[in-house]
A and B are shown apart, each in its own frame.
Chain A
Amino acid sequence: MMNTTVEKKYKKIMVVEDDRGINRLISYNLSKNGLTSECVYDGLAAQEKLAREVFDVVLLDVMLPGVDGFHICKSIKDNPAAFKTFVVMLTAKAEPQDKIYGSLVGADYYLTKPFSVARLMEIVNELIDMRDKEYSVDTPVLNKKQECAR
């Protein structure tokens, strides 16, 4: 587990997950890592929030009431104001075509349920670190896409 640093608290993370148990699980583990997050339980609420604010990382379920996760991911990536936002898909949709679709709409990571909490925290920390070091967004994202497509 990564060190908790004071700067991390400034990063904005949104968890979009309709299962309250899982939503709670993720926020609990994020806060344990010194990260605060906003919990959203349906697609429409997520879109409303994304229209108003820019997040650093969005953890996104696919099968959501209202608007599905793939659409939300695409609207994030299509929004010039939010181009720095990392999207981690977190979904029960585990078919190869779902993963390909995820990479097509621009997801940076694609985790299938049941997922490992440790792995999720690793990814989130990595992305936050990347943002901290002010890396150019394009290069790692391309790499991540390749990893995701694999």
Chain B
Amino acid sequence: MRIKLYWKLTFIFCIIVALAIAAGYAYLAPHLKSYVENGVASNIKRQLFLSKDLLEALQKDKTAPIDFQASAARIGDILGLRATIIASDGKVLGDTDLTGDQLLVVENHAGRPEVKAARAGDFGVSKRFSSTVKKEMLYMAVPFSLDSGRGVLRLSVPLYDIGLLQEKVRNVVVVSVVGILLFSLGLTVFVSVFISRPLTEMSLIAKAMAQGDFSKKAYTRSQDEIGDLARALNTMSEDIRGKIESINSGKTKLDLVLSSMFEGVIVTDAHENIIIMNPSLRKLFLIDMDPEGKRPLEVIRNNAVDDMIGKIVKEKQQLATEEIVINIPEERILKVNGVPIMSNNRLEGVILVFHDITELRHLEKIRQDFVANVSHELRTPVSSIKGYAETLLDGALEDKVNAKEFVNIIYQDSNRLVSLINDLLDLSKIESGKLKMSFASLDPVLLIKKGVTVINNQAQAKSISLEVNISQDLPKIKADETRFAQVMINLLDNAIKYSSEGAAVIISAKAADGVLQIDISDSGMGISEEDIPRIFERFYRVDKARSRELGGTGLGLSIVKHIVSAHGGQVWVKSELGRGSTFSFTIPLA
């Protein structure tokens, strides 16, 4: 059970006060009775001697005989005691409590112990039951000189009266003790409150601090230890607030860095419980629960990651790198780097950083495929050249019917090699960004006409008419003259190649939305729907054999796409099998 300091102090003070008073009383009580009795006795004794002197003085005045009964009554009245005057033979001469008639019948007092003692010496005292007044009494007697020898004056008081007195004194003492006790209790409560209040206040401030409220200040006017404590508390509050602020700002920076990172980050403690997991990683693994404090396997559900953390914890390896593949929601390849967090040679935790290298791997695959394709594309014409040359050398030179054709094939295939090499170089220059484009503000009408002129002979060879349906006042475009021509020639070349003899190829252009769109339409064989998305890929041919026969490298459209992109334009195709195709591209206006 929790008892407040206030009550503890009050309780302790009360006990101390009560004990002190009880001890005082215990010491005082036995002395009180005898003190009162002694006080009364010595008082009576002094009065006795005074009365004796008075009686003796009265006797010296011989003018009138003494009325002992009246004297006894008088002394008793004044002193509030019972006075008795006894003659030397023990006969009672006067008594306060007796009348004259009673005196005559009263018992001789010579045998009374106090009287005996008084007659023998000069003072007698006795405590006994009075047969005369039927009470327990204290007697004191003294001898006095009487004409007829030595008389005895005796004073007595009922012991009961002394008891009453004692009772009165004790009552006073008890009342004052209770009074002191009550007063002390009041004082105790006040002192308790006085001592405990600042402590209570500071305890509340400390509680508020624990909850992050540093606005309250302890009251520090007193100069004692409590004041010191209050000042220390205030200083501590300031310090903690400062530290928390600096930690918070550090944490905010860390959070900012972690949440803006593209890479996924997970930090665990040495027991493999997650401390931090950044948004990128949550997104990567589709985690929507709060991961803090949980095990990585529980949150990420990937054995490879869990094994890696376990391995780093076990081996404290400086840098572990692994590639893992996840399939949810789609296949992604992740490169995971892990390091142990070491502090004074002790493992504090593990950091894993996840790089999504899916795109990188994809590009790598494309590059590898491209290299394989290039190798194939080069090997085929070279085989043909080598094979025919070998055949010719092996005697076919004499075969006049075929020899010329073989040489012709060699010539065509070497041309194929040349254009392939040129296209490859172009492509590699464009892709690596080494191709220098000099953009200028150019008249598209002139450029289109120039392209048409270059390709015109080829068209005429197939009796194909090139129809240029463009307005003469098209706005200028921002383009590289040579590369624009290359795009025009590549597209026109394709259009002518895939058109049948005598057909028409139509070139049109229109300016809209800041770009110039140029369309080249043929009425050739067309492209099937499933081939359309792939025709701009390198080495993709709809009809490989036909393309090769026509001297295509499989790179023309790929180059077109790259050049148009470098201009900031787009290229696309609309086609219908057997009806022809329309290739369109846009170039920004100057």
Residues of A at the B interface (CB closer than 8 Å) are 18-22, 24-26, 28-29, 32, 41-42, 63, 65, 92-95, 112-118
Contact = CB atoms under 8 A, between A and B. Distances in A.
Contacts of B544: 18, 65
B380 interface: yes
Interface string B365-388: 000000010011001101111111
Nearest to A63: B376
Instruction: Assign chain B's interface to a size class.
Output: 20 to 34
A22 B384 contact: yes
6 contacts: A22-B380, A22-B384, A28-B391, A92-B379, A94-B375, A113-B382
A25 B391 contact: yes
Contact of A114 (B382, B394, B402, B412): B382
A94 to B, nearest CB: 7
A117 B391 contact: yes
B387 A115 contact: yes
B390 interface: yes
A94 B379 contact: yes
Given A41-B545, A113-B383, A21 B375 contact: no
Nearest to A120: B387
A116 B379 contact: no
B413 interface: yes
A19 to B, nearest CB: 6
Contacts of A113: 379-380, 382-383
B257 to A, nearest CB: 44
Nearest to A116: B390
A95 B380 CA distance: 15
Contact of B386 (A19, A92, A114): A114
A25 B388 contact: yes
Given A25-B391, A93-B376, A118-B394, A65 B545 contact: yes
B77 interface: no
Interface string B398-433: 000010000001001100000000000000000000
B376 A114 contact: no
A21 B416 CA distance: 13
Nearest to B386: A114
B402 to A, nearest CB: 7
A28 to B, nearest CB: 7
A65 B543 CA distance: 8
B549 interface: yes
Nearest to A93: B376
Contacts of A112: 379
B548 A19 contact: yes
B376 A117 contact: no
A20 B396 CA distance: 18
B380 A92 contact: yes
Contacts of A25: 384, 387-388, 391, 409
B545 A18 contact: yes
Nearest to B384: A21
B438 to A, nearest CB: 38
A50 B412 CA distance: 32
